[in-house]
Amino acid sequence: MLIKAIIGLNFLCQLAMASEIDSFSHRFDRVLEDSSAKINSVANNLIEEVIDKTNRNSNNCNEIYLYQNLRKEFHNHFFGHFNKFISFSNEIDRIQTTTDKSIYSDFDAKDSIVLGIYSKYVTNPLGSIINISGNYVGTDKFEHFAGTGYVYFMSHYINQKTIGATMNIGNNDENGILGALSTGVISYGDMSAEFNGMRFWNHILAKQPDILGNNLGPYIKCESNKWIKTKNVDLAQYVDSSWDEALNCSMFRTQKMVDKVKKSLEKLEDVTGSSYTCPLDKQKILAIKAKYGEYSKNIINTEGLKVKSH
């Protein structure tokens, strides 16, 4: 029983750790190479491979098989080539910060079982930061985009649940075992990536209207009983400043955690001479809030670093 508990805790912590990044440390050290083209190339090649595989194994444009096969490639860093490439490829220019050198370095066991214990004494690295068309975003965001985004898609577009109930999936995750209860962090950037992932999955076949009125699909359609790719995916069309946790600030489970992060940011300011107040650019996050309209209240935080109220 003890061994099973340890294994379960280890797996849970790996999942939770994959969803935390430091968007501040080393941010101004250098300009990251834009990785959009490389990631788009991998994404579009995988879509073509999935289409070929699905056509070989089924007839009459079976949608279930198509989505199942896409899901195998677009999932998380454990399953599927898409997120493995983003998380681990040497072809991607990235900023990598270890927990003990990050803004979470002062967290202890009472603050966060993941960031206070597991990542310091078992395995260390957080997710890394990459550049997507000028947006500095965590690699973890693409796991939320492809993984939980699919759950959103199934909830809202397939099972016809309200958008409020659907977006509450991410809110429950962030306030539950995959967020506040394990890492202590409630990431609005995660929830924005999930919302846009729902849009991406709907755009695959574009059978229903886009929730923001900007349907970028269909990427795939049925022709002569076979799936064909109709256009390339450009993931930069889904990524914006709301994915950047230095702009779309996270909230935390306790005031003690907020104070520790702010203290870490003050140390960065002393060392670099740059300002690290979150959000780094208030006007930019206010502008992107307007893009999401009524949905912004669930995925945009313009109030800065603070305790999440319930």
Rounded distance, CA 65 to CA 54, Å?
A: 7
- Return all residues near 189 (Cβ < 8 A) that are at least 6 apart: 137, 138, 141, 242, 243, 244, 245, 248, 250
From the number of C-beta atoms within 10 Å of its C-beta (0-12, 13-18, 19+), residue 64 rates as exposed
pLDDT for position 59:
79
Rounded distance, CA 298 to CA 54, Å?
A: 36
Rounded distance, CA 81 to CA 144, Å?
A: 15
DSSP string for 244-269 = -TTTS--EESSHHHHHHHHHHHHHHH
pLDDT tens, position by position, for the chain (310 residues)? 444 444 444 444 444 444 589 999 999 999 999 999 999 999 999 999 999 999 998 878 999 999 999 999 998 767 789 999 999 999 999 999 999 899 999 999 888 888 878 776 666 658 899 999 999 999 999 999 999 999 999 999 999 999 999 999 987 877 767 666 788 898 999 999 999 999 999 999 999 999 999 999 999 999 999 999 999 999 999 999 999 999 999 999 999 999 999 999 999 999 999 999 999 999 999 999 999 999 999 999 999 999 977 6
pTM assigned to the model: 0.92
* 231's tokens: 């256009």
